[in-house]
Structure 1
C-alpha cells in the first residue's frame, strides 16, 4: 500500500509540472495527451489505493489510508479542473491566432482601398456597366476563408482529441501489461516453491523407503540370531 501512495504522490507532482508547462504556453498535442493519460493513471491509482485501504485490518492504518484517499481525490479534482481550464484557454488562443492569421492577408491596404473606390471611366464604346455587387466579392472571399479555417481548426481539434484517447488507451494497455507481468512473476514464484516442496517430499519419501528396507533387514537378522540362540539353549542346556 505504501508503494501505491508513493506512486500517487509522483503522479501528482508530474501532473503539476505538466500543467505548469501548459500554463507557460506549451499547448502541444503531445503535452495534452500526456496530461490526459497521467490523469487517467492517477484515477486508477486512487481506486486501487482506496480498495486496499478498505481491506486494511488495522484500524489506525485504515483511517490514515482513507485520509490519504480523500486528499488524493481532492488533488485529482483540482488538477482536472485546472487542466480543463488551461485546455480551453489554449484552444481559444489557437482559434484567435488562426482567425487573425486568416484575416491578415484579406485586409486591403490603403492603396488598394483608394484604387477600389476610385472612379473608373468606362470606354466610350463599352456597352457593359460595372456591377454594383463587385465590391462585395472580397467580403465573400473572406467569409469563405474564415469558414474554411474554422473547419480546419475543428478537424485539428477532433484529431487532437482522438490522439489523446489513443494515448490514454496505450497507457492503459501498458499498465495492464505491467500488472500481468507482476501476476506472472508471482505465479512463477509459487510454482518454484511448489516444485521445491515436491522435491523435498520426494527426498523424504526415498529416505523413508530406504529406512524401511534397512529395518526389515535388521528384523530378519535379529530373528535369525534369536532363533539360533534358542537352538543353542535347547541343545546344550535342555
Structure 2
C-alpha cells in the first residue's frame, strides 16, 4: 500500500515588501503518494513554481503544515532542512542550472561531493548516470557545447545521482523543441516507472496529460485535482 511522501495541510505563503503583502497561495491541502507522477498546471502567476520550491524546501511558508517523507518541515532548522532535501529530493530546472566552468562529469558529481562523498565514488555514480542518459561520449565536454536535450539529460543525471525519492521538475521541457521534449518526457516516465515520485510544473497541456495525476492551480488555489489515464509518449 502506497503512502504520502508529501502532504500539505492548509499551506499558505505570501511575500511582503514594505507594507505590500502579496499572497501566493492560500490554505492548500493535498497529498502526493509514493510513486505518483503529478503535473502542476495553471496560468502564469498561479503560484506553480513557488509551490514547487516550497515543497523542495527552497522557500519557507507562513501558515499550515508541510510534511516531506513523514518529517514536519515547520519544526526543522535550516541544517535539518538541507539534510532532508539532500536525502530525498532531486531538482530539474528549465534552464538546466549547470555550471559552465565544469565538465559534464564534474557537474553531475557535484551534489555527492558537496555531501562529503569521496571523489572516486561520486565519479563512479556519475559515470553510471551519464551512460544511462546516453552521454558516454560527452562526459569531458562543457555543457554549453551540447544540444538543449543533451543538457537536460545532464541535469537529470545530476538530479538522480543522490538516488532521491522525489524529483521536482520545473518546466523541464520549456527550452526544448517538441521532439526533444518528448524524449525528456519518456525519460521521466521511465524514472517514475522505477518508483521515483515526480512532481512537474508545465505550461504544456499535452505533456501534462502524460502524468498520472494533474493538479490545477489558479490564483493560489487548487481548483482541480484529477487522476489521468496513462498516456504514451509516442
- Counting helix residues as a fraction of each chain, which structure ranks higher? 1
Greater fraction of residues in strand: 2
TM-score bracket, shorter-length normalisation: under 0.3
* TM-score, normalised via structure 2 length: 0.23
TM, length-normalised to structure 1: 0.23
Q: Larger C-alpha radius of gyration, 1 or 2? A: 1
